[in-house]
Amino acid sequence: MANETFEELAETFEFLDDWEDRYRHVIDMGKAFAPLDEAFKVPATKVEGCASQVWLVTSFDGQGPDAVLGFQGASDAMIVQGLIAVLHALYAGLTAKEVGEVDALAELGRLGLNDHLSAQRSNGLRAMLARIQENAAIEAAR
């Protein structure tokens, strides 16, 4: 299950049949995504395993499994910045418990961005997913 924002996004992507338009959309999402305050770009928020630089900051409204996820992020690569915006659409607003129930790879596969999903790809989408899921799992266990 994904949230409504993501369902809308998936619908939009259904109408984009070639990769160029899908990339253009992802890049535009990245450009429109709120920039991350420089103060947050610290080792603790940096996601290792990405070829470009990536920072993710998660926060929770409330506590425990029902706490609601919010996050910010940034990358110096524009496609990755766009992927962060896609992840935001996928996860933001879900509870910590719900985050754990999302089949992220299947959901992202619906966008036709499959070539970013293989484990070997160095753009770090998997590393970003792992960071979000890990932080949500910690919160859900509180």
Partner 1 sequence: MYDVNAIRAQFPILSRDVNGKPLTYLDNGASAQKPQVVIDAITQAYSQEYSNVHRGLHFLSNLATDKYESVRGIVQRFLNAPHEDDIIFTSGTTEAINLIAYSWAMPRMQAGDEIVLSIMEHHANIVPWHFLRERMGVVIKWVDCAPDGSFDAQAMIDAMGPKTKLVAVTQMSNVTGTRVDVKAICHAAREKGIASLVDGSQGAVHGPVDVQDLGCDFYPITGHKLYGPSGSGAIYVHPDRQAEMRPFLGGGDMIDTVGRDTVTYNKPPMKFEAGTPGIVQTIGMGVALDWLMQIGMDNIAKHEAEITRYAAAKLQSLNWLQVQGTTADKGAIFSFTMEGAHAHDLSTVLDKRGVAVRAGSHCAMPLMEHMGVTATCRASFAMYNTKDEVDTLVSALELCHDLFA
Binding site for partner 1 (CB under 8 A): 19-20, 23-24, 27, 51-52, 75-80, 122-123
Nearest distance from C-beta of residue 78 to partner 1, angstroms: 5
141 token code pair: 């266990």
The residue type found at 117 is: L
- Sign, Cα dihedral of 14, 20, 26, 29: negative
Using the minimum distance from each CB to partner 1, give the nearer residue, 97 or 116: 116
Nearest distance from C-beta of residue 52 to partner 1, angstroms: 5
Given the residues 2, 50, 67, 104, select the one marked as catalytic.
50
Using the minimum distance from each CB to partner 1, give the nearer residue, 68 or 77: 77
Q: Identify whether 50 is a catalytic site residue.
A: yes
Using the minimum distance from each CB to partner 1, give the nearer residue, 27 or 130: 27
Give kind and range of the element (H or E) at residue 139: helix 125-140
Nearest distance from C-beta of residue 51 to partner 1, angstroms: 5
Q: How many CB atoms lie within 10 A of CB 131?
A: 23
Helix, strand, coil content of the chain in percent (nearest 5): 55, 15, 30
Active site positions, annotated: 50
